[in-house]
């Protein structure tokens, strides 16, 4: 990429990003509208059943639901490009406002979780490499495999049962007690359990990847050379090997965004945590189209952006990196 005009290069990446988001919006729009559910239900609730045909028609007209899908999409797109994502059928207010109110909660849960996972994963990875095949490594591998096998929702339920119901130490749902929104300690106590689940269920997956990358690294020749020059183990591992796994570390981080995001969705739903996850779950189940579109675009754009950023960063750090080498995960991205 050195010899190309750097400006053109970024323009190209930007166009790819915009096109991807556009395709994403078309796909989500069509798929969500193909579902046979009744969007009027989420707007009018039970009253839908008592509506006469003419009333229904009027309501559909009001919400712009009686036109062919592609016309609906053009309308939606024309509004969305001006920042107007429509109103939520369920909450009857601007979609952006509702998302804006919920987003900080998810950012706290997902963001802190993300940072914790990465700091801890790196630490565990280094620890395992340091003690390769000795008891700390073996023990960590065993424990890690077990924790990564526990489904998130089950871990959540088990923790709620233990800490909220039996020991009565921590609250089981919500982001704060009513009237206590500003109280930091209250917030933290509500955050502890969901955060534990998010971190525990993802941690080993990434720690193991980092461990394997590091193990590959310490088998290279330059490590032998450094050792024969009399450098200490600490020096070699921290100054030489760690630097070389930075590109993989960054790509793993970027790939993990949808993974961790999906995980917080499930955790949020189980803990009734008022974030983006519960909101998307509701909107997809009850055909709250505008909300669903806005949320899908939001999370989709974030993921696509992460992928592109990691490509750019990788190419700058290590120009040998081939176009998609950084994005190979030989593991399965699973639900949650």
Residue 224 sits in the site that holds another protein (CB under 8 A) = yes
Q: How far is the CB of 57 from another protein (least distance, A)?
A: 23
Site of tokens 């592609």: 70
Asked if residues 139 and 238 have their Cβ atoms less than 8 Å apart, the reply is: no
The region of 52-60, 62-70, 87-95, 141-149 touching another protein under the rule CB under 8 A is 141-149
The region of 41-49, 68-76, 187-195, 218-226 touching another protein under the rule CB under 8 A is 218-226
The span from the CA of 284 to the CA of 278, in Å, is: 10
Residue 17 sits in the site that holds another protein (CB under 8 A) = no
Q: Which of 273, 300, 315, 326 binds another protein (CB under 8 A)?
A: 300
CA neighbor of 283 nearest in space, from 90, 125, 55: 90
Q: Which of 95, 245, 266, 313 binds another protein (CB under 8 A)?
A: 266
Query: Which of 120, 215 has the CB closer to another protein?
Result: 215
Residue 265 sits in the site that holds another protein (CB under 8 A) = yes
The span from the CA of 92 to the CA of 247, in Å, is: 45
Query: Which of 199, 292 has the CB closer to another protein?
Result: 292
The region of 64-72, 77-85, 116-124, 295-303 touching another protein under the rule CB under 8 A is 295-303
What is the x/- site pattern for another protein, positions 31-50, by CB under 8 A? xx-xxxx-------------
Q: Which of 97, 134, 233, 243 binds another protein (CB under 8 A)?
A: 233
**Site residues (CB under 8 A) for another protein, limited to 188-217:** 212, 215-216
- Residues in the chain, overall count: 336
Question: Cβ contacts of residue 6 below 8 Å, gap of 6+?
Answer: none
Task: Output DSSP code: residue 255.
Answer: H
Query: Which of 118, 289 has the CB closer to another protein?
Result: 289
**Site residues (CB under 8 A) for another protein, limited to 103-132:** 129, 132
Residue 3 sits in the site that holds another protein (CB under 8 A) = no
**Site residues (CB under 8 A) for another protein, limited to 48-107:** none
Query: Which of 223, 313 has the CB closer to another protein?
Result: 223
The span from the CA of 1 to the CA of 322, in Å, is: 11
Six token digits for residue 90: 């369920």
Q: How far is the CB of 182 from another protein (least distance, A)?
A: 29
Query: Which of 121, 304 has the CB closer to another protein?
Result: 304
Site of tokens 């749902």: 173
**Site residues (CB under 8 A) for another protein, limited to 158-177:** 158, 160-161, 165, 172
Six token digits for residue 250: 């960054």
Site of tokens 């106590």: 189
Query: Which of 86, 106 has the CB closer to another protein?
Result: 106
Six token digits for residue 141: 């591998």
Site of tokens 């997902």: 110
The region of 66-74, 102-110, 113-121, 235-243 touching another protein under the rule CB under 8 A is 235-243
- The alpha carbon of 126 is separated from its chain's Cα centroid by a whole number of angstroms, namely 25
Q: How many CA atoms lie within 13 A of 299 on its CB side?
A: 25
Residue 139 sits in the site that holds another protein (CB under 8 A) = no
Asked if residues 273 and 173 have their Cβ atoms less than 8 Å apart, the reply is: yes
The distance in angstroms from the start CA to the end CA of the chain is 36
Residue 28 sits in the site that holds another protein (CB under 8 A) = yes
Q: Which of 1, 23, 119, 169 binds another protein (CB under 8 A)?
A: 23
The 3-state secondary structure of 191-218, one letter per residue: HHHHHHHHHHHHHHHHHHHHHHHHHHHC
Residue 221 sits in the site that holds another protein (CB under 8 A) = yes
The dihedral sign for the CA sequence 43, 48, 51, 57: positive
Query: Which of 61, 225 has the CB closer to another protein?
Result: 225
């Amino acid at each position: 990429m050195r010899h190309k005009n750097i400006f053109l290069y970024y323009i190209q990446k930007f166009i790819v990003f915009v096109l991807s988001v556009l395709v994403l919006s078309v796909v989500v729009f069509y798929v969500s509208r193909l579902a046979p559910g009744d969007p009027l239900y989420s707007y009018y609730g039970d009253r839908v059943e008592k509506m006469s045909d003419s009333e229904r028609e009027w309501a559909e007209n009001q919400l712009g639901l009686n036109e062919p899908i592609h016309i609906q999409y053009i309308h939606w797109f024309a509004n969305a490009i001006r920042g107007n994502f429509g109103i939520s059928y369920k909450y009857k207010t601007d979609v952006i406002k509702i998302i804006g109110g919920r987003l900080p909660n998810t950012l706290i849960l997902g963001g802190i979780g993300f940072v914790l996972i990465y700091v801890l994963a790196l630490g565990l990875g280094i620890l395992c490499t340091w003690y390769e095949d000795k008891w700390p490594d073996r023990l960590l591998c065993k424990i890690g495999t077990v924790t990564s096998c526990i489904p998130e929702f089950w871990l959540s339920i088990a923790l709620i049962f233990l800490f909220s119901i039996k020991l009565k130490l921590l609250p089981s749902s919500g982001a704060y007690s009513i009237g206590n929104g500003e109280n930091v300690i209250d917030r933290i106590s509500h955050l502890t359990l969901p955060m534990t689940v998010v971190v525990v269920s993802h941690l080993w997956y990434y720690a193991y990847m980092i461990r394997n990358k590091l193990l590959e690294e310490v088998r290279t020749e330059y490590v032998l050379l450094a050792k024969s020059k009399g450098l200490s183990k600490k020096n070699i591992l921290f100054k030489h090997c760690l630097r070389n796994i930075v590109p993989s570390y960054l790509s793993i981080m970027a790939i993990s965004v949808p993974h961790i995001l999906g995980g917080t969705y499930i955790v949020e739903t189980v803990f009734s945590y008022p974030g983006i996850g519960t909101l998307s779950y509701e909107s997809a189940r009850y055909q709250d189209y505008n909300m669903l579109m806005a949320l899908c675009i939001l999370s989709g754009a974030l993921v696509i952006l992460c992928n592109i950023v990691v490509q750019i960063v990788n190419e700058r750090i290590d120009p040998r990196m081939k176009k998609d080498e950084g994005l190979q995960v030989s593991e399965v991205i699973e639900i949650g």
